[in-house]
Amino acid sequence: MRTEEIKQTLVLIKPDALKNSLTGYVLSQLSEFHTGLRFAGAKIVHVSRMLAEEHYAEHRGKVFYPSLIEYIMGLLHYPDEPNRRRVISLVYQGPDAVKKMREICGPTNPHVARETKPGCIRALGTVVPLKDAAGNEIGERMDNLIHASATDNEAEREIKLWFRPGDFPPFMRSYPTEINAEDHYYFKNGNLYITHEPGSVCLIAPGDVVWKSDFDALRLLSKGLPAASSLEAVAAKYLMNYTVES
């Protein structure tokens, strides 16, 4: 297999696209016919706050961040229907996967998308004013229907955040994996344990196939040492679709 053929990118069909029944349209725009890219992974996800905050970690502290987290969690588009809060999370692969997907999505701001790239997916989005408690406009949020990784490094971080190796056919795993030979890792209230605590969730058991980078992080974190990934970034995918979030 040639290496350019296994470039992958993460795509999220966001809650506004589901709410506006644009899923079928978006998927057809992303099809191999239009993009030359193939499906590698797919899942329907009820986005937890932990996953949302890890996914958009680079935007922490920005004025639109709290609203962005509520948007991706589906709280804004389905305020009274928790059962409908979900995104479609996809991995596509093929030559220039990241660039091709970003191109078909278009510019982040739907107004700019309509002006500069009519026909792109984000041209169908909206821009919503953000107000403070006193009602003053403090910025805007861009409801732009779709997320696509911006760089190969971002794609790797995001794919490992949303997907386990076992979510892909074995020949479609792009990053190094490892089989956990001995340890159990449990998670509860933001803490990592190597023995079962009442109420904890088992993230990884012996025999599980895991991303090597996650395993490296857990080994260090379990010894209280700093690691390249946060515990939340590793744990979020194991707790995916675990409980209803508010």
Chain residues binding ligand CDP by CB under 6 A are: 64, 68, 108, 141-142, 144, 147, 150
Count of other CB atoms within 10 angstroms of residue 135: 6
Name the residue type at position 156: E
The catalytic position among 34, 147, 184, 196 is 147
Residues 128-167 touching Mg ion, rule: CB under 5 A, are: 150
Name the residue type at position 72: I
Query: How far apart are alpha carbons 92 and 105 in whole angstroms?
Result: 14
Residue 68 interacts with, from ligand CDP, Mg ion, none (CB under 5-8 Å by kind)? ligand CDP
> C-alpha distances in angstroms, 36 versus 57, 63, 83, 99, 116?
30, 37, 34, 12, 23
Enter the tokens of residue 83. Answer: 């059962």
Name the residue type at position 233: A
Smallest distance, ligand CDP to C-beta of residue 227, A: 24
The CA-based dihedral angle spanning residues 52, 50, 185, 209, taken in that order and rounded to the nearest 10 degrees:
-10
Query: How far apart are alpha carbons 131 and 67 in whole angstroms?
Result: 10
Residue 123 interacts with, from ligand CDP, Mg ion, none (CB under 5-8 Å by kind)? none
Smallest distance, ligand CDP to C-beta of residue 199, A: 34
Active site annotation includes 147: yes
Choice between 16 and 208, CB closer to ligand CDP:
16
Smallest distance, ligand CDP to C-beta of residue 71, A: 7
Smallest distance, ligand CDP to C-beta of residue 141, A: 4
Size, binding site for Mg ion by CB under 5 A = 1
Smallest distance, ligand CDP to C-beta of residue 186, A: 32
Choice between 50 and 148, CB closer to ligand CDP:
148
Choice between 112 and 150, CB closer to Mg ion:
150
Count of other CB atoms within 10 angstroms of residue 163: 24
Choice between 86 and 147, CB closer to ligand CDP:
147
Give the SS3 label for residue 116. Answer: helix
Which residue of the chain is nearest ligand CDP when measured via CB? 108
Residue 109 φ/ψ region, left for φ over 0, alpha for ψ in the -120 to 50 degree band, beta for the rest: beta
Choice between 158 and 232, CB closer to ligand CDP:
158
Return the active site residues. 147
